[in-house]
Structures are given as C-alpha cells and as structure tokens.
Structure 1
Amino acid sequence: MVCMSTDQNFSRPGAVDLAGLTAAAANNTGQPTGAGARGSYVLPVTEADFEQVAAQSVRYPVVLVLTSTQAPGADQVVDDLTDAVNAQEGRLILGVVDVQSDPRIAQALQVQAVPTAIALIAGQMAPLFQGTVDKQRIVDLIAQVVQLAVANGLSGRATPVSTASVPEAAGEQADPRFAAADEALEAGDFQRAVEEFDKVLKNAPRDAQALAGRAQAALLARTSEVDPGVVAKADAAPTDIELGFAAADFELVTGDVARAFDRLLGLVRVTRDVERDKVRERLVELFETRGAADPEVKRARRLLSAALF
C-alpha cells in the first residue's frame, strides 16, 4: 500500500455501515451530489468502467469516494472532495461510486461503511478516510496525495470531464509524445504502453518522464497476473533470480517497497558478472517507478553502491 499519513482507523463517526443499506436503490436514479457539472475533474464510476478509471492512476492519482444517499453527511463530503480535487486543476481526478447502484465495487475494495475515500497511485491503494471529516482535513489529504504522486514520478494531467465550466489552463495539455502510451495505459494494455514508451526513448533516451512511464507500465504488465504465492517461493529460494524478480514486483505493487528493494539488494550481493548486472538493472528500473526523491530509493541506492564497490 502506498505510504502516506491517512486516517486509517475506519471506525469513524459519521460512517454508515453498508450492512444497513439496501443492496440497490431501484428508484434512486440521481447523481451523487458533487458529481457532474460542478466538478470538471469529477466523474461517476460504475462497475462497467471501474477498471478503466483505475488504470489512469499510472498517469495521475485517482481518488475514489464511495457514498450513498442514505449516509448522513455524505453529500457534503463529496462536495468538499470535489472542491479540493478541482482546485488541483487536473493533477488528479475524483471518481464517485454509489454503493447502492454498484455494491460490487465496495465489496471488491472491502469497504464496510460509507462515505469512504481511497486514493489510487500508480496502481497502489491507500485509504484516506471513512466517515465525515472537515473540509480542511480533506484539502490537506488531497494535497498529500498530489505530493506523493510527484515523488513517485507521476506528472500527468487529467483532461477535464467538462471543459465548459473550467477552461483548460494554457500550457497544461498532455505531452503529445506520450499520447499513444497513455491510450494504452487507459485501455489496460500495459505491454503496448511499454512499447510506446520505448519509441519515445529511442529519440530521447534520458527523458525522465518516459523512463518513469516505461518502468511503471512494465511493472503493471509483469504483475497483471502475478501469483501471490511467489513471495513464499522466493523466500525459500533466495538465490533464484527470476523468483526474486517476481516477488519484488509483487511486493512493490502491494506497497512493501523496502522489502522489494532489499530482496534485490540481497541478490546483488550473491551474484557476479552478467547475473549481477541483470539484477542491478532490474533494481534501477524499480527505482524509476518510485522517483529519485523517494526515501526508500535514496536508501537503496546507497546500499547498492556499497554492494557494488
């Protein structure tokens, strides 16, 4: 899970237990408050488009708020999230999930009460809060999400859902060089995204955004069908490079960054020549997914230098 300061105690006042709600509201067809015209970077999310929306988190953060018309104070929470997200001018988007219309999203995310807010950053999930919180706390949390995204190398900008209400700022359009890669990421075709980033890198081999994008896409491609049991297998065979690679990938996407880096550092120390170069290159690639400013990257870089020299 992405590490950040959040309200992770999900026994908050103002939260409504989902068990107390009906499974669906057949006669409720209205949009949740805060979605729609008021929010140029806010969109309703359903089970049909959930994966597509979540895939955008490799470009910029996606905040999800799971809500219900039956939850007191939920509309105000959505309104406050809408204001905070729109103030960031496309640095992230807000998806509003009506748990009565789409209860399976709540089940998949293991959400027990509403309103609940969750951030997705580079495919990793971090809980933000559950229940009703004050507006300033929401503003602070959204700012933290944006800061964490930048630290992880995510610098994309979302396209407004409604350009009529808030004109797109000049100079903030997405870099056209990454259009094809972005399209592939949004479609969940991570291998094609890797190939598109490679095309950009042929002309600009040291482009930081392209390197980070390629590393993130490659990580998502490798872990799209990963076996969670690979960690135990790698622990049982600590010198097996391929198992170590797969386990480190799994640990990284599930938020255990230090363990992922330490696993590959351990392989660096017990390998030589071509094999050591192979492990070093994979470790450096994983650094790219986090960004040079990440404290764990800085720590691991120091340990890598010591292991090599």
Structure 2
Amino acid sequence: MAGAVDLSALKERAQAKPATGATGGTPTANAVVDVSEANFEAEVLQKSSAVPVVVVLASTRSEPSMALTEAFERLVAQDAGTWILARVDVDTNMRIAQAFGVQAIPTTVAVAQGQPLADFQGVQSEEQLRAWIDAILKAVEGKLTGPVGSAEEAPPEDPRFVAAEEALEAGDLAGAEAAYEAILAAEPANAEAKTALRHVNFIGRAEVLPDGIIATADADPTDIDAALQAADAELFDQRPEDAFARLIATVKRTAGDDRTRVRTRLLELFELFDPAEPFVVAARRKLALALY
C-alpha cells in the first residue's frame, strides 16, 4: 500500500537504526535487507529518513539483475552504514514494482525521506555505480538524521506502537486494530493512532473485496455497495484518482442518505493521504462542485 496510501504518520514516528561498522568487504549488519510488501514500510520508508535507501528491483531469473545486486553489495560494504541496500524480488512483490512504476528489470531507485530521489534502469559498471552513490550521498548531506551510532542516541519507541506495528507486519490486522484502539482509549486525541487505525481498517476492508467488483460496479452504476467496494479496490490497486472519480460521480447521481453515505466514505479515503497531495486537493474541489 505504500504507493497508494501515505503512511507518513507512521514513518515519521520511527527513526531508522542502520548499524555502523568499519569499511571492509562484508556489508555492515542491516546494511543489506530483503524487502517485501510486509516490511517495505519499516525497511524503506522509515529508514530513508536516516540514510538513503537504494532499492534494487530485480529478478533472480535475470543474470544482469544478479550482477547489479552483487555490485551494490560490494559498494555498501565499503560505506559504513551511510546508506542501505534494499533488495526486492519483483517476481514475488509485484505491488512494490508497480508502486515504483517499474518498466524494465533491473531498476534501481534511491529513496530519501520516503520519496524517490533518483533512479536508473539496467546495469552500470561498478565505477558508475560508485559515482551515482556518491552523488546521492552528497545530495542528502545534512538533510537526513544520519546513521545512529548507538542505541542511546535513538529516541525511545513507544512500546504500544511497536506492538501494533509488529502485529501489522505479521498480517494480524485484528491485533493491530486492537492495539491502536487501546491507545485511543487511553489517549483519545492521539493523532498518530487515529491515522494508523484508519489505514488498518482500510486494508482489512480491501483484503476481503469480491473478485471482479470493479466490473460489477461499472455494469450497474446505481449499486451503491458495489461503487464503494470498487473505489476501495481501485485505491488498493494504486489508483486513487480513479477511486475518487468513481465516488464523486456516485455523489452526483444520488441524494439523501445514499449521497451522505458515499460522501462520508470519500472523506474517509481522503484522510488516508497527505491533504496537500495535488490529487486530493483536486478531488475535494470536485466533490464541493458535485455537492453544491
């Protein structure tokens, strides 16, 4: 969901803790990670607030992919925790590849502060890769928190959020939901827990969507339930503009309780994103026109 839903409230809370070590031929502990959909948030988005994360989207069936990955592994071993290499197997993590807009294998993307900074396709020489990495490090100099030298330097993490995130990474949505609800029971104004709970609720709803729901909704625009489910499916499929457009069109066709229901769902979906996102701003404007 990283490409569709802005998890900034979660990634801003946690500080990455890449281990440092001496320059040498072996990658520093935690400097090379295998990334999947389950740990993408923690290993890429969160850690990129501390140091750049170089995401290599590759396939084990591709010799150029393996050669590029091995070259990056040698380079990260030399740099003492100043950046992290994240290996993504696109054969088993298609959503991550889709989120990055991958069109060729291998593709490399440097991520800093949760955002793509630079990318290239194909294989380059080790000398070219070294120059590219050096340019990335120079571009972010002084802008990231930097490698954490010791556990004492890191801000303490709230164990309640740690437990919730561990449940989420394990696929235990009910456990994550219960953990965030417990935080809100104790601190009703906790904005971070509210944001996290909205994301968990959306993911839980999207995971049980019926097959072919978008086609079903297209076939009968008067079916409100189908429209709501189809919008969830489009959002889960990294297409927020399509989801918003569908619900705005449904608002125009409805009245009374039905219109209120659709409008409420649309506002809930808006809350999954940074309100300054251009597509959210545009959709809010279109909703206002549809209502008035």
* Smaller-chain TM-score bracket: 0.5 to 0.7
Query: CA offsets, 1:50-98, max 9 Å, x none?
Result: 564357589748945437695444333345678999547xxxx75436x
Aligned residue in 1 for 2:32: 42
Structure 2: gaps (5+ residues):
5-23, 98-102, 112-117
Query: CA offsets, 1:106-151, max 9 Å, x none?
Result: 433468976444799xxxxxx964423545656759x99xxxxxxx
Aligned residue in 2 for 1:256: 239
Residue 198 (1) aligns with residue 190 (2): no
User: Separation in 1 of the partners of 2:283 and 2:195?
Assistant: 17
Deviation at 1:266, TM superposition (A): 1.8
Secondary structure of 2:284's match?
helix
User: Separation in 2 of the partners of 1:295 and 1:79?
Assistant: 40
Q: What is the aligned-residue RMSD (CA, Å)?
A: 4.4
Deviation at 1:189, TM superposition (A): 1.6
Residue 74 (1) aligns with residue 37 (2): no
TM, length-normalised to structure 2: 0.62
Residue 53 (1) aligns with residue 44 (2): no
Q: Is the 8 A contact 1:36 1:42 kept in 2?
A: no
Q: Is the 8 A contact 2:37 2:93 kept in 1?
A: no
Pairs within 5 Å for 1:153-302: 166-168=149-151, 170=153, 172-302=155-285
The letter for the 1-side match of 2:175 is R
Q: 1:190 to 1:79 in 2, by over 3 A?
A: farther
Deviation at 1:172, TM superposition (A): 3.6
User: Separation in 2 of the partners of 1:84 and 1:271?
Assistant: 59
Q: Is the 8 A contact 1:177 1:200 kept in 2?
A: yes
User: Separation in 2 of the partners of 1:212 and 1:83?
Assistant: 39
User: Separation in 2 of the partners of 1:137 and 1:253?
Assistant: 33
Secondary structure of 1:107's match?
coil
Deviation at 1:231, TM superposition (A): 0.9
Aligned residue in 1 for 2:115: none
Aligned residue in 1 for 2:91: 107
Q: Is the 8 A contact 2:33 2:43 kept in 1?
A: no
Moved over 6 A (4+): 81-85, 110-113
Deviation at 1:260, TM superposition (A): 0.5
Deviation at 1:308, TM superposition (A): 3.2
Q: 1:129 to 1:232 in 2, by over 3 A?
A: farther
Pairs within 5 Å for 1:130-145: 130-132=121-123, 134=129
Aligned residue in 1 for 2:14: none
Structure 1: gaps (5+ residues):
4-33, 98-104, 121-126, 145-156
User: Separation in 2 of the partners of 1:199 and 1:82?
Assistant: 42
Q: 1:290 to 1:75 in 2, by over 3 A?
A: same
The letter for the 2-side match of 1:75 is E
How many aligned residue pairs are there? 240
Identity %, equivalent residues: 33
Q: 1:80 to 1:67 in 2, by over 3 A?
A: farther
Q: 1:128 to 1:58 in 2, by over 3 A?
A: closer
